Amino acid sequence: MKKIMILGASSLQLPGIVKAKEMGLHVIAVDMNKEAIGFRYADEGYVISTTDISNVVKAAKKSKVDGVLTLATDMPVRTVAAVAEELSLPAISIDNSLKATNKAFMREALNSYGVPCPYFIKVNNEGDFFQAVKEVTDKGYRCIVKPVDNSGSRGVNLLSRYDEVSLKEAFKYSKKNSRSGEVIVEEYMEGPEVCVETLSVDGICFPIQITDKLTTGAPYFVEMGHSQPSKLSIDEQADIKRVAIAANMAIGNFNGSSCTEIKVTKEGAKVVELGARLAGDYMTTDLVPLSTGVNMVESVIKIALGEKPDCAIKFNKGSAIRFLEADEGIIRSISGIKEAQAVSGVKRVGIDKKIGDEVVQIKSSLDRIGYVIAQADTSHEATKICEEAVSKIKITVEKI
C-alpha cells in the first residue's frame, strides 16, 4: 500500500486526508495541534509543526512516504519541497518553494520571465517604506502594502491617506503581520479579480477553472465569495489562462496544483500571487468539482505519488460560495440553518463560530463566520441561490 504524507490535519486539509483514505492509501497526517480533526481519519500521525522542516523530513524518512503534499496554506509548501527533495518525490523544488511563499521572491521570478505583475518595492524599515511609497506614487499608482510572507489578507492594506501618521500606521500593520519583517509596497491594480485553479504534471500546466472573486474591497480585501466559471469574456479568460500558465512556469511549479490570483487590468491580466498548492476557501475541494466534475484533491494526490491525474473537464456547471457576515459583538443566537440547507441547489452550509464567540470587523479570512455553497446551471444562478440561503440565516449579536 502506498503511503502519502499530508501536511496539516485541520479542517482545511481534511478533504485531502479523507480522499486519500478513499483511494486506499496509507495516510500520514502532520500537525502541531494534537487535537486536529484530521488525525482521527489518518492511519498515522505526527504532532509536529508543518513548518518544522527538519523534524517533518525525519518523520517522512522514518515512515518511508511515497508522496507528500499540503492543501490550502502556503508555508508548509517549503516543507513539502524539503521532504520531496530528501526522498526524491515529485513536488516543487526547495528553491522554487521560496519563490512560491515569499511575495518579493515571487515578483522577482515573475519579472525575470516577463510575466505581467505590478510594480513593487521590498522594504524592511520605515525610512525605506516612506521612500518606496513616494516612488510608487510618483509613477502615478495608488499603493498597496503587504507582508512578504503571510496569507489570508493578514497585513494587506491599500493606502488611502498619505500623511505621516497614516503611513506609519500602515507600515506598522503590515510589518506586524510579516514573519521576516519584510513588507512590499506595490502598484494597486484596478480591475476584477480571479483565481485560476491549475494542475501541473511534469511541467505541463492545465488551467482547470477560473473563479471570480468577491472581496470586502479596500482597505483589507478579505474574500467574501467566489463563483465559477468566470463571467469575464472569452478573450479575457484566454489572457488570464496564458498568464497563469506563464506564472507557474516562472515560479517552477511543475508538479502539483496552484491557485494563481490575477487582476484583470486595462493592460491585461496581471498576477497578484501564486499559491503552489490547492486553493483554500472550498474553491478546489467543492467549487471546482461542482462546476467541472474534476476532482482536484484526487488529482494532487496522484501527482504527489507520480501517477497521472485525470484533468479532463466532465461538465460545465455553475458553483458559488458566499461567506456569512454579522454585526460586531458577541453572538447570542444563530438560526435558519435548516431553512438555508433546504434552498434548492444548496450543497453545504457551514458555521465556523458558536454562541458566545465574538464577531469582529472582518480584517482577515479567520474573522469570517461561516459559508453557503451552491451549484446550478450557471455561476449567476449559483450565486443567487447562495444569496437566498444566506438571507435565511439570522445571527444576533450583543454589542460590547
Ligand X SMILES: Nc1ncnc2c1ncn2[C@@H]1O[C@H](COP(=O)(O)OP(=O)(O)O)[C@@H](O)[C@H]1O
Q: Select the span of 35-43, 145-153, 236-244, 377-385 touching ligand X (CB under 6 A).
A: 145-153
Question: How far, in whole angstroms, is CA 344 from its chain's centroid?
Answer: 28
Among 123, 156, 210, 224, binds ligand X (CB under 6 A): 156
- Per-residue DSSP letters for 292-324? H---HHHHHHHHHTTPPP--------EEEEEE-
Q: Does 273 bind ligand X (CB under 6 A)?
A: yes
CA distances from 87 to 65, 161, 259, 334 (A): 8, 51, 25, 48
C-alpha cell at 258: 496552484
Q: Nearest distance from residue 299's CB to ligand X, in Å?
A: 23
Among 105, 173, 206, 221, binds ligand X (CB under 6 A): 221
Q: Does 285 bind ligand X (CB under 6 A)?
A: no
The nearer residue to ligand X, 116 or 309, going by C-beta atoms, is 116
Q: Nearest distance from residue 152's CB to ligand X, in Å?
A: 5
The nearer residue to ligand X, 57 or 109, going by C-beta atoms, is 109
Expressed in percent and rounded to 5, the helix, strand and coil fractions of the chain are 35, 30, 35
How many whole angstroms separate alpha carbon 255 and alpha carbon 253? 6
Q: Does 261 bind ligand X (CB under 6 A)?
A: yes
29 CB-contact burial (10 Å; exposed 0-12 / middle 13-18 / buried 19+): buried
Q: Does 144 bind ligand X (CB under 6 A)?
A: yes
Among 19, 226, 263, 302, binds ligand X (CB under 6 A): 263
Among 10, 131, 215, 396, binds ligand X (CB under 6 A): 215
Query: Judged by CB under 6 A, how many residues of this single chain contact ligand X?
Result: 20
Helix (H, G, I), strand (E, B) or coil at 127: helix
Q: Select the span of 29-37, 149-157, 316-324, 329-337 touching ligand X (CB under 6 A).
A: 149-157
CA distances from 316 to 213, 229, 333 (A): 19, 8, 38
Tell me the per-residue interface mask from 103 to 142 with ligand X, x by CB under 6 A, - otherwise. ---------------x------------------------
DSSP 8-state symbol, 255: S
Cell 482597505 found at:
219
For the segment 177-206, give every residue that binds ligand X (CB under 6 A): 186-189, 193
Q: Nearest distance from residue 221's CB to ligand X, in Å?
A: 3
Q: Does 237 bind ligand X (CB under 6 A)?
A: no
DSSP 8-state symbol, 74: S
Q: Does 151 bind ligand X (CB under 6 A)?
A: yes
Q: Does 162 bind ligand X (CB under 6 A)?
A: no
How many whole angstroms separate alpha carbon 280 and alpha carbon 8? 13
- Alpha helical stretches, state H, 189-280: 234-251
The residue at minimum Cβ distance from ligand X is 221
- Per-residue DSSP letters for 5-57? EEE--STTTHHHHHHHHHTT-EEEEE-S-TT-GGGGT-SEEE-S-TT-HHHHH
Residues making contact with ligand X (CB under 6 A): 118, 144, 146, 150-154, 156, 186-189, 193, 215, 221, 261, 263, 272-273
